[in-house]
Amino acid sequence: MRRHLIPKLTKFLCLSIAAMTSVVAFAQHSTKSITADGGALRLLIREGAPLFHAQNESVQKELGVDEETRRKLNELLLSFGKESDQIQAEQAKLSGLPEGERRVKSDELGKRRGPLELETSKQFYSLLTEEQIVRFHGTFLQARGAEALLRTDVKRWLGLSENQSKQLADFELAYRRGKEELYKMKLSDSQENGRRLRGLREDRERKALEVLTDEQREKLAKAKGAPFEFQPVPPLKQ
């Protein structure tokens, strides 16, 4: 090997090892914290819902975060949202480019998204105690209900089969179609509209639990923890 290539190769290897170490360290931190019945649940940052769930006031109250932590959480989540929106906006502009150029620029945006998600995750979990992290995931599973079972991370954690995943996806599709039909009906009686919507949700939840095995249902129940009443509110202004 030529002598002038050795320093460059050494630098490349050092950077690669450092990057791998960072990812492994973060994975170890997150999986050791979020456990249920011996199995680790990791809500992936690339599916942004968990971060914005933490923005909810009723969730923050349930976790018992202090004012300083609440301020840092909201600042972090708003910052992540703005940067994510910027990447998505740039992604949308690529549609008119030639395929080759579009692929290159899309890959570049992907390289920006990865470090953003990793760094945001590290900062987010560092703001919570181990107990708060476990409870945070419990509130998320309760608030999302059967919809949470469609997430890649939750499916892997529960050990859902391909057939189970397909059935859950079918239930979700039927639920959304039912909501669309209900919306088109434009019922003047708001109480009746609410009753029918609750019926659709309850039907989805019941069918989803029936798909799970006894072991999976028990694992999910333990992860959810004590009952929590999620209070939807408008997102923070950006």
d(CA 124, CA 45) in angstroms, rounded, equals 10
Please say whether the beta carbons of 122 and 28 come within 8 A.
no
Nearest one of 33, 34, 42, 70 to 55, comparing CA atoms? 70
Mean pLDDT of the 39-60 span:
77
Domain ranges of the chain: 39-145+227-238
Residue 36, beta-bridge partner list: 39
Using the predicted structure, report yes or no on whether residue 114 has a pLDDT greater than 50.
yes
**DSSP code for 234:** P
**DSSP code for 220:** H
Extended beta strands in 38-181, E state: 39-40
Span 131-184, pLDDT tens digits: 999 999 999 999 999 999 999 889 999 999 999 999 999 999 999 999 898 888
Using the predicted structure, report yes or no on whether residue 193 has a pLDDT greater than 90.
no
Residue 48 pLDDT:
64
Residue 17 pLDDT:
41
Q: Return mean pLDDT, the chain.
A: 81
Please say whether the beta carbons of 140 and 53 come within 8 A.
yes
Nearest one of 157, 138, 136 to 226, comparing CA atoms? 138
Using the predicted structure, report yes or no on whether residue 23 has a pLDDT greater than 80.
no
List, as one string, the DSSP characters of 73-101: HHHHHHHHHHHHHHHHHHHHGGGGS-HHH
Instruction: Please report how many Cα atoms fall inside a 13 Å half-sphere around the Cα of residue 94, on the Cβ side.
Output: 16
Span 159-169, pLDDT tens digits: 999 999 999 99
Residue 13 pLDDT:
42
List, as one string, the DSSP characters of 100-129: HHHHHHHHHHHHHHHHHHHHHHHHHHHTS-
User: Which tokens go with 126?
Assistant: 């560092």
Please say whether the beta carbons of 30 and 125 come within 8 A.
yes
Task: Name 113's Cβ contacts closer than 8 Å, sequence gap at least 6.
Answer: 46, 84, 87
| Confidence bin at 127 (pLDDT 50/70/90) | very high
d(CA 194, CA 213) in angstroms, rounded, equals 31
Please say whether the beta carbons of 219 and 37 come within 8 A.
yes
